Amino acid sequence: MKKIIIYVLGTGGDIDPMVGVGIELQRRGFSVAFLSNDYFKPRIVAAGLEFVSVGTVEQYHKGNTPEAWERTNRADNFEHYHAPAFEPAFNYVKSLANEKVLVLALGEESGARVAARKFNLPFIDIILSPNIVFSAFKPPAPTSWVIPSYIPGFIMRFLLRRNRKAKFKRFCNAPHTAAYRAVRERLGCPLPFRSKATALLHIGFFPEWFGMPAKDWPRNLKMVGFPLLNHASSSSRSEFDALIEKQGAPIIFTSGTGVKDVEDLFKEGRKICEQLQVPGLFVGGNIGVEFLQGSSLCAHMGYIDFEYALPKTLAIVHHGGIGTTAQAIKAGIPQLIRPLKYDQPDNADRIYKLGLGTYVVPEKFKAEQVAPMIGNMIRKGKTSKALAHYAERVRKSAAIVDACDLIEREFMSLEQSKYK
């Protein structure tokens, strides 16, 4: 049977698109095995997909503490979450070295991807956000924010390539990567510096107009659009409708998956609602309720169905995860992004360039500064051509199907050559 291995860690926003891919590939007759953390086993198994554990729930929580989400913390998420998954993923893919198998992997140096490379198995690189793709011509934010305009382009490109190597060396010498590097040495795959991608194909789960591709991006990178996976919830829809019937269309404030520290977002968000005299709906698991107590304008929900709720709202304030960003574009509402780390600053920068919203770094997220910005966005949003234009383009997307078409085509090509 045709077999696909999908390796993915991260938060729910990383898992859900790949579950969608797995379901579609299985519908097409592929056998699909999912390599992920035990934390995500219920949703993967519920989708009817084979689950292979590469980490414990304890490791997930260790790598996703409030401290791990601090912008200056480069250690905890990798050391406690990603690094321990290397060996079990490597060994699983190694065990399939003589079978007809294609590996789909998120994470540049994951165990699944390294094993595929070592044992000459074909693999496809899955990219969920544009900041992952290195470019010396158009570097992602926040790097692009600090590049002086007076430096000639050819010098900056040289410095960016040099900085890439320097970051790799720092990673190789960092204490939090010691165990990871030791495992790789023991398994006979020491960590190399790679300036060129070696995947059979790169699939970007974002549209070309959002990716704004640079001329030094890989030629075999295909952008298919936003996957827009959504968890429908009839109970949350009813609760949401009851809220807006009572108070009117709100501003949504959400911390995103994986973020536990919501104090600043909720406290300042409450002040913003009070200053603008508009209702606010604060979303973030079961945390943060205490910061809203006593407010007649602010309500809290543990979960909302974005695809259903966002078109009925005035605007959204969020951290800039690619899934929330895409749903806000589809809904045609303005967004203010408060980026923390990972892909969030770059997503915020692209939203600003497209005229779909703006961003504020966390230390400047104060009601006195932000409330007028949101008020202005809401007023302009009612007649914004950019919001309407890109919302329509996203609604026409079929990213999961298009991605699976590419994957199936590559597998058929392999069957005619390597697997013949």
Residue 96: which CATH number?
A: 3.40.50.2000
Percent of the chain with pLDDT over 70: 97
- Residue 63 sits in the same domain as residue 192: yes
- Same domain? For 286 and 184 the reply is no
Buried b (16+ CB within 10 A) or exposed e, 244-257: beebebbbbbbbbb
Binning pLDDT at 50, 70 and 90, where does residue 66 land?
confident
Structure-token pair, residue 371 = 């409330």
What is the average pLDDT value for the chain, to the nearest integer? 92
- Mean pLDDT along residues 134-154: 94
What local confidence, expressed as pLDDT, does residue 74 receive? 80
Instruction: Tell me the two tokens of residue 164.
Output: 């890439």
pLDDT level of residue 179 (50, 70, 90 thresholds): very high
At 261 the pLDDT is 65
Query: Which tokens sit at 29?
Result: 């007759």
Domain check: are 278 and 383 in the same one?
A: yes
- Tracing tokens 């590419």 back to the chain, one arrives at 406
Residue 11 has pLDDT above 70, yes or no: yes
Confidence of residue 72 (pLDDT cuts 50, 70, 90): confident
Mean pLDDT over 288-316 rounds to 91
Other beta carbons less than 10 A from residue 99's beta carbon:
11
Please check whether residues 301 and 208 belong to one and the same domain: no
Question: What is the reported pLDDT for 418?
Answer: 63
Number of domains in the chain: 2
Q: Quick one: 147 and 277 in the same domain? A: no
The whole-number average pLDDT for the span 47-59 is 96
By residue range, what is the domain housing residue 128?
A: 3-225+398-416
pLDDT at 195 exceeding the cut of 90:
no
Asked if residue 419 has pLDDT above 70, the reply is no
- pLDDT greater than 80 at residue 199: yes
Give the pLDDT of residue 325: 96
Does one domain contain both 88 and 215? yes
Q: Beta strands 221-223 and 201-204: pairing type? A: parallel
371 and 411 housed in the same domain: no
Which pLDDT value is given to residue 64?
Answer: 87
Mean pLDDT value across residues 297-305: 90
Co-location of 211 and 273 in the same domain: no
pLDDT digits (tens, 9 = 90+) for 342-354: 899 999 999 999 9
Within this chain, do residues 117 and 255 fall inside the same structural domain, yes or no? no
pLDDT of residue 259: 62
Residues 6 or more apart in contact with residue 39 via CB below 8 angstroms? 55, 57, 60, 61
pLDDT for position 1:
60
3-state secondary structure the chain: CCEEEEECCCCHHHHHHHHHHHHHHHHCCCEEEEEECHHHHHHHHHCCCEEEECCCHHHHHHCCCCCCCCCCCCCHHHHHHHHHHHHHHHHHHHCCCCCCEEEEECCCCCHHHHHHHHCCCCEEEEECCHHHCCCCCCCCCCHHHHCCCCCCHHHHHHHHHHHHHHHHHHHHHCHHHHHHHHHHHHCCCCCCCCCCCCCCEEEECCCHHHHCCCCCCCCCEEECCCCCCCCCCHHHHHHHHHHHHHHCCCEEEECCCCCCCCHHHHHHHHHHHHHHCCCEEEEECECCHHHCCCCCCEEEECCCCHHHHHHHCCEEEECCCHHHHHHHHHHCCCEEECCCCCCHHHHHHHHHHCCCEEECCHHHCCHHHHHHHHHHHHHHHCCCHHHHHHHHHHHCCCHHHHHHHHHHHHHHHHHHCCCC
Which of 29-43, 98-112, 277-291, 385-399 has the weakest average pLDDT? 277-291
157 shares a domain with 15: yes
* pLDDT band, very low/low/confident/very high, at 12 (cuts 50, 70, 90): confident
Least confident span in 179-188, 241-250, 257-266 = 257-266
Residues 204 and 286 in one domain: no
Q: How confident is the model at residue 286 (pLDDT cuts 50, 70, 90)?
A: low
pTM of the complete model:
0.93
pLDDT at 69: 76
pLDDT of residue 109: 86
pLDDT at 420 over 60: no
Tell me the average pLDDT across 147-158.
93
Tokens 């205490």, located at residue: 290
pLDDT tens digit sequence for 251-272: 999 986 656 568 889 999 999 9
- Check residue 169 and give its pLDDT: 95
Question: Between the CA of residue 261 and those of 60, 127, 145, 315, 365, what are the distances in Å?
Answer: 16, 27, 26, 22, 14
The whole-angstrom separation of Cα 39 and Cα 60 is: 7
For residue 75, give Cα distances in angstroms to 68, 144, 175.
7, 23, 9
Is residue 78 domain-shared with residue 129, that is, in the same domain?
A: yes
pLDDT digits (tens, 9 = 90+) for 203-216: 999 999 999 999 99
